[in-house]
Amino acid sequence: MTSGAAYAPDPIPAPVVGPGDFVFGAARLDHGHIYGMCEGLVAAGGTLRWVFDPDPEKVEAFRARFPGVRVARSEEEVLDDADVRLVAGAAVTSERCALGLRVIEAGKDYFTDKAPLTTLEQLEAARVATARTGLKYAVYYSERIHVEAAVLAGQLIEQGAIGRVLQVMGIGPHRLGTGRPDWFFEKDRYGGILCDIGSHNFEQMLHYAGAKDAEVTHAAIANYAHPEHPGLDDFGEAGIVMDNGATGYCRVDWFTPDGLSTWGDGRTFVLGTEGYVELRKYVNVGTDDGPGHVLLVDGQGEHHLVADGNVGYPFFGQLILDCLERTETAMTQEHAFKAAELSVRAQQAARVLTP
């Protein structure tokens, strides 16, 4: 096995703006992903000015991580600041679209945690708002944009390292743990497992395959082991056929064993005409190697590339420049919405396997 020196990553991205050139705020801290969203924007040069949440404990925890941020007395205080160009939010999933519509109506770009919405009606409202205003409804599909192994895999595929992509398979196991908020177990609020966790996988399928659309051909959900939470899907799977002939499959679940050293052994497998890639994103089981492994097999041999610390996260700088220059380099609006649409459609079509 070689180190894959012939497949060097792109240079680690540097900040794209200086202090004060791109001011943003954070509103609604219901999911911890808000920290990664804001850290990514700050690392790319963004200036975090405001935070708002009705829960003072969430605000204090956020201030501990971002000590220079101002505490807004209301959501309106953030939206009324003419210097704020973008608002990042991680509201309860079913409330993310409504927040986004308020942000857009205030004349600002919106950056939401995934899943960005829970119904097709919300999707239509978001599509209408973005088309009418030209403002962004960007989505934090973190398992690709904020994971160096996933970023590197995208670079390899774009370089043609595995030829034309034929299939993308992803598994997204998570640990349920303790201390989850009540809304997490209410399906009409979190959207169901394929809408929620599955959105990561649908986005990756479309991205790595270079597809613009897809049809859900199979979907199933279950609550196998958590009868005390009847609204929880603890297992889900789905298959799609994309508009370029490639196929996709994902399995998502809440069954990470306690013995695993991290919250989930997320993996992605991409098959091409000239090779294949496996991502071991968060752990290389049975070793002390840490996260961030890309295994590439091509016509020249077997290559093991370590991504963590060597790739960076270009999405955030690209998003900032997209907001300033009104471009679509980080992610097109239609791509963000199509991944969400497939997530909702799969959830709605899913066969229930619960015994």
Task: Check residue 59 and give its pLDDT.
Answer: 98
Distances (CA, A) of 264 to 175, 269, 283, 293: 6, 16, 8, 14
Same domain, 107 and 163: no
Same domain, 135 and 165: no
**Does 211 map to a domain?**
yes
Same domain, 121 and 44: yes
- Give yes or no for a contact between 210 and 244, defined as CB atoms under 8 angstroms apart: yes
Share of the chain above pLDDT 70, in %: 98
- Measured at the alpha carbon of residue 295, what is the angle toward residues 6 and 336, in degrees to the nearest 5? 95
**Does 171 map to a domain?**
yes
pLDDT confidence band for 57 (50 / 70 / 90): very high
Distances (CA, A) of 86 to 1, 82, 140, 218, 335: 45, 10, 14, 37, 19
**Does 1 map to a domain?**
no
Same domain, 223 and 130: no
Express each pLDDT in 323-335 by its tens digit.
999 999 999 999 9
Residue 52 pLDDT more than 60?
yes
Kindly report the CATH number assigned to the domain that includes residue 300. Answer: 3.30.360.10
**Does 172 map to a domain?**
yes
Look at the alpha carbons of 76, 199, 329, 13 in this order and tell me if their dihedral is positive or negative.
Answer: positive
Q: Mean pLDDT for the chain?
A: 97
Residue 1 pLDDT more than 50?
no
Same domain, 88 and 101: yes
**Does 320 map to a domain?**
yes
Kindly report the CATH number assigned to the domain that includes residue 86. Answer: 3.40.50.720
Task: Check residue 178 and give its pLDDT.
Answer: 87
Question: What is the number of structural domains in the chain?
Answer: 2
Express each pLDDT in 123-143 by its tens digit.
999 999 999 999 999 999 999
Same domain, 284 and 170: yes
Residue 4 pLDDT more than 60?
no
Task: Check residue 289 and give its pLDDT.
Answer: 94
Same domain, 108 and 203: no
**Does 278 map to a domain?**
yes
Same domain, 87 and 153: no
Place of tokens 């101002």: 70
Task: Check residue 3 and give its pLDDT.
Answer: 54
pLDDT confidence band for 156 (50 / 70 / 90): very high
Express each pLDDT in 198-215 by its tens digit.
999 999 999 999 999 999
Full domain range(s) for residue 323: 23-141+315-331
Burial class (CB in 10 A: 0-12, 13-18, 19+), 87: buried
Same domain, 82 and 117: yes
**Does 16 map to a domain?**
no
Same domain, 39 and 149: no
Cis peptide bond N-terminal to 336, omega within 30: no
Same domain, 180 and 287: yes
Same domain, 159 and 297: yes
Express each pLDDT in 306-318 by its tens digit.
999 999 999 999 9
**Does 319 map to a domain?**
yes
Express each pLDDT in 83-96 by its tens digit.
999 999 999 999 99
